Chain A
Amino acid sequence: MSPPVCHWVQSVLAAYLAGELKPSTADAVRRHLARCDECRKYATELEETWNLLDEAPLPPVRPGFTERMMARVVEEKELRALEARMRPNRILRQVAASVLGVAAGLLIGLALYSWTGQLREPKSPIEREVSRSITFLEDADLLDEIAVIEAIDRLTGSTDRASGA
């Protein structure tokens, strides 16, 4: 089993090899490596595997990327413009839906009112007077019709009397 100092050195070896340790810590690691075969072997293996990563080169980039990218940007802008044109229609649809909702609410309210009956009985004298007036106005057409019928009756009666005479 490795001594604790070897364990510590091996935990910071990657940073040591990358030059990312503080100078004082790096000195301590360097001194340890000079006298510890196991840690020196570990450091060599770490470095060699790191260098092995250079064996995976990048494939060449296909020419014309910028042109293809800018063509895609044009598509993106056209898509955004289309979305912007669609947006007012969406708002209109939302307004229409809101209006329909309010209308439906009014209809339901009216239906409920009709179902639950009339307005409450008027209590104060003013309310009663108003109520009477409203009733009179509601019956106005009927009263007009009665008056017309009576007038016709009178005219008919007078005509009958005249012809009888």
Chain B
Amino acid sequence: MGKAIAVAVGAYEHAGRRGAAADYDVGLMLAFQKGKELAFQELVERNHARVIGLIYRFIGDAADAEDLAQEVFLRIYRARQTYKPTAKFSTWMFRITANVSLNALRSRANRRDDVSIDQMGDSGEGPRGIPDHECEMPDGHLHQAELQEKVQDAIQALPEKQQIAVVLNKYEGMSYADIARTIGCSTMAVKSLLARARDNLKDRLLLYIRTGRGRRKV
């Protein structure tokens, strides 16, 4: 890997780009573009856990998450000739990840359309399987595993764009501006998406807060 690092840094300096100078992964991708397969291997090594985690947040299945992560890295592999370092590598990678995850979700739902983030409506209000949380009364002693399931269900029940925004903001710590670049919309739109998403999550999870779980200092 050490050799790949040197190759990547060299390639990146050679490219003379300044916009994402701190983005080491961009350097690896450029090195890979120049034919250094080891650079791709290092990209996988550095990023696979984040990609798998992100997919898991979207689809809620660990085995499927790994398969789909392979699909994400294959798309990156195939895109080496056309890749341009115009943004942070993670923005580009998460965009691919979100598209692969959403397509998988839609395939599961027996929908045949291969729709990307760009093709979603502005509201991102894709129909999702929304659990009937109104009928579920927690008993005050909800097991940790059950609580995890409720939280995962609540995230997955969000409309698609809201779900992407929540996962990127909450679990990847991305700013609104970076989420906007990843989803391909304005920062104002992300602000609106997250406002509605947090409102929806509050409606679905409030009962579990009142049992004492999740109560922390505001």
Contact = CB atoms under 8 A, between A and B. Distances in A.
Given A15-B176, A47-B218, A48-B218, A56 B44 contact: no
Interface string A91-111: 000000000000000000000
A53 B201 CA distance: 9
Interface residues of B, number: 48
B156 to A, nearest CB: 10
Given A48-B215, A69-B44, A13 B70 contact: no
Contact of B214 (A48, A57, A58, A69): A48
B10 interface: no
Contacts of A66: 41, 44-45, 48
A73 B74 contact: yes
- Chain B binding surface, main DSSP class: helix
Contacts of B151: 52-53, 55-56
Given A49-B198, A53-B155, 8 more contacts: A14-B195, A46-B199, A48-B214, A49-B206, A54-B214, A66-B41, A66-B45, A68-B70
Contacts, number: 110
Nearest to B60: A56
B176 A20 contact: yes
A44 B202 CA distance: 10
A59 B62 contact: yes
Interface residues on A, range: 20 to 34
B148 A69 contact: no
11 contacts: A14-B191, A15-B194, A20-B191, A46-B199, A49-B201, A49-B209, A54-B214, A55-B148, A61-B48, A72-B70, A72-B74
B23 interface: no
B84 to A, nearest CB: 22
B73 interface: yes
- Of B69, B176, B194, B195, which is in contact with the most chain A CB atoms at under 10 Å from its CB? B195
Contacts of B45: 66
B175 interface: yes
A54 B173 CA distance: 13
B75 to A, nearest CB: 11
A47 B195 CA distance: 12
A51 B208 CA distance: 12
Nearest to B40: A73
A65 B44 contact: yes
Contacts of B105: none
A82 to B, nearest CB: 16
A50 interface: yes
The 10 closest A-B pairs by CB, nearest first: A52-B214, A56-B151, A47-B218, A14-B195, A14-B198, A59-B62, A49-B202, A49-B205, A58-B53, A44-B218
Contact of B209 (A52, A59, A62, A68): A52
A73 B72 CA distance: 12
Contacts of B77: 73, 76
B152 interface: yes
A28 interface: no
B3 interface: no
B56 interface: yes
B209 A61 contact: no
